[in-house]
Each structure stands twice: as structure tokens, then as C-alpha cells.
Amino acid sequence: MCENPLNSIIVKSEKVNLIGLEPEALIEFFSRLGQKSYRAKQIMRWIYQRGVLKFDEMTDLSLQLRDQLSNEATLSLPKMISSEEARDGTRKWLLDVGAGQAVETVFIPETNRSTLCISSQAGCAMDCSFCATGRHGFNRNLSGAEILGQVIFANQELGSKLSITNVVFMGMGEPLANYRQVVQVAKLLIDDCAFGLSRRRVTISTSGLVPQIRKLAKDCNVALAVSLHAATDKVRDQLVPINQRHQIQELLESCWHYADSLASRHITFEYVMLAGVNDRIKDAISLIKLLKNKPAKVNLIPFNSFPGTAYTCSDDEVIIKFCAKLRAAGIVATIRRTRGDDIAAACGQLAGRVKDRMRVRLGDRQIRAANL
């Protein structure tokens, strides 16, 4: 049984960070203060909908309660270390999460939507060979407050002129290896008393943790993006090492199971285009065999280079032909427009600052870290 983090904090007489707490935990917190359960919804609306992080500004709470909250609780966000803006308007923030660790959060404005890409871990242990994050190793899972704090921070930085319409767990880390905290945050993102986003506008990405995908189908069926990147186990074993534990057929079976819970929605399969590795027409044909007549759409991602990588991006013509081959077979396929690459904010380029890193690769320790 997992220890209630609220209990451990109270025993230590430290202030409780209310950001990211589940509604049930908030209700318990207010109960300990001798308050009614509806206070939980009140404070959720103040924090998440109005962006108020000072208890003395929460005017529908009594002065006595505001004093209690000031003594017992805090509303703490990760601190910004640096901010960069790309030529295309993409913004990247480096946020301090303590003990020498820092993570990156990216805001991508588009014509019809604005997407925030958030991190779930300090570093990543999946060690995908084409990803900058994995090369810097893994330190720890982020807390719910540190994950959701990125959304609140971005809202404050953007102000009223820009609003976040979509949130994707595609920053640093493997989201499903920090399962409990990620699901807790995803539920708050879609909670009507919190951010109230549609399930379609919250996407959890994974490199392929099969047991967690199956569990997620029951716990919080938001949109799912799977980092496939190859159509054969031989190639995927090299690109995405978790494939050595959960091979493609097992992964796809869990995806079709997940799709059954999505009310006719598709699973998105991310596919990075690597010259001479996975971009040939025969690779497209293999991919078609895997996904044809399935609830799948393919997002082709031009590879974004980073220092020390041995890979190069497929030529534009090669990517276009690959996409056309998929579409001709009836598969929904798109080519992702590269955003923020001039500030290393594009897909696969996030690195943050990860110290005291642990090389935990594919073993039982990494699976246990999922906090199921």
C-alpha cells in the first residue's frame, strides 16, 4: 500500500503544497482543518481557473480560513532559470525542480490551437538512441506539483493574450514510468473544477510500457501517443530499447485494447524519420501491414539533430513519399512541422539539466518506478 503523501507531510509539520493534489486529498486536508469538503472545489477554482496563488486574495474564503491556509499550506511553482523564444514563436522555459535538477517546458502557438509540452521526469531512463533527453540520463520522477506547476507557470507567463488549449506529456521523461503522478495530473487537467480540458486535448505519450497502457485505459483514457519509430522488432530494438521487453505485437495489442476505451478515437503513432534507418518504402510497407484497418494515425517526425548524434534526418522528398505510401493504403498520416528547433525546443531535443544521473535501463527498477 502506498503511503499517503499528505499524511507524511503533516507529520513532519511542513506546509502542504496544494498544487497537484487530487480532490480527495484536498478534501482530507480541509477536513483536518475542520472545514467542509466543498472548500476543495473552491480552492481548485481559485488556483486552476483564476490563477490565484495567494491565499489572502481568495475573497470568498473567511479571513480565519485564509490565515489557516497561510500557516498550513503553500502554492509553490517551479522557479524559472531561463526563457527562450524561437523565430516561429515557440517558447521554452528551463525550470528548477531542486537539488540541481532542471526540466524544460515548451509552448507551441498555432493558428487554431496552442499546445504546452510538459515534462514528467528529470531526465529519462528509456535511452532511445535518437533522443537528446535519454543521453543525459535519469535522476527522478517529478511530483504532481512539479508537473502541474509547469501548466500554471506557463499560464502566468503567457497572460491573457495566449491561452493553452492542449497539453501533451511529451517533454522530458517517460510519462508512464511516473504513472501515479501523471495520471493524477491528467485527471486535474480534465476536471471541470480545475482546467476543464477535453480528453481529446490531453495527450500522454509513451515509448511502450505495455502494462501501464492497459491500466491507463481504465484509469484515465485521454489521448494516447505511442513512440513506434520502426515497423520491425530488429530496428525498434535499436531505436527504442524498451522494445526488448515489450515487442511490437504485444505493444500493438495493448494499443487496440486502449482504442476500445476511446469512443472511436485513434491511437497516434509517432515515427521519427531517420535517413537510411527506417525511411525506405519497404519500411512503409511493413508499417502498413501493422496498422492497416486499425484505429491508427501516423505522425511522421523529421529528425531534429542534437550534439553527438549519429543520425541524420531523411530528405524532405523521402518523407513526402513515405507519407504518400501510407495514405494510399488508407492510413491517416501527417508530417509534423518542426517547431522551435533554433532554440533546441523541437521533438527529441529537450535536455534540461540532470545531475547525479542513474543509468536505469529496462530493468525491474525502472518498471517499479512507475508508481502503480
- 119 CB neighbour count, 10 Å cutoff: 29
Q: Is 104 known to be catalytic?
A: yes
Taking the C-alpha atoms of residue 41 and residue 37, their distance in angstroms, rounded to an integer, is 8
84 neighbors 342 (Cβ within 8 angstroms)? no
What is the distance between the alpha carbons of residues 322 and 340, in angstroms, rounded to a whole number? 24
Ordered DSSP codes for 172-235: SS-GGGGHHHHHHHHHHHH-TTTT---GGGEEEEES--HHHHHHHHHH---EEEEE---SSHHH
Strands 91-98 and 79-85: antiparallel
CB 308 within 8 A of CB 354: no
Q: Which residue in the list 72, 104, 146, 174 is annotated as catalytic?
A: 104
Counting every residue written for the chain, the total comes to 372
CA–CA gap between residue 273 and residue 213 (Å, rounded): 24
Strand 101-109 and strand 114-117: the pairing is antiparallel
Torsion of CA 11, 15, 19, 23, to 10 degrees: 40
Q: Which among 124, 220, 313, 347 is annotated as catalytic?
A: 347
Catalytic residue at 347? yes
Are 190 and 198 in contact, with CB atoms under 8 Å apart? yes
**Mind telling me the catalytic residues?**
104, 347
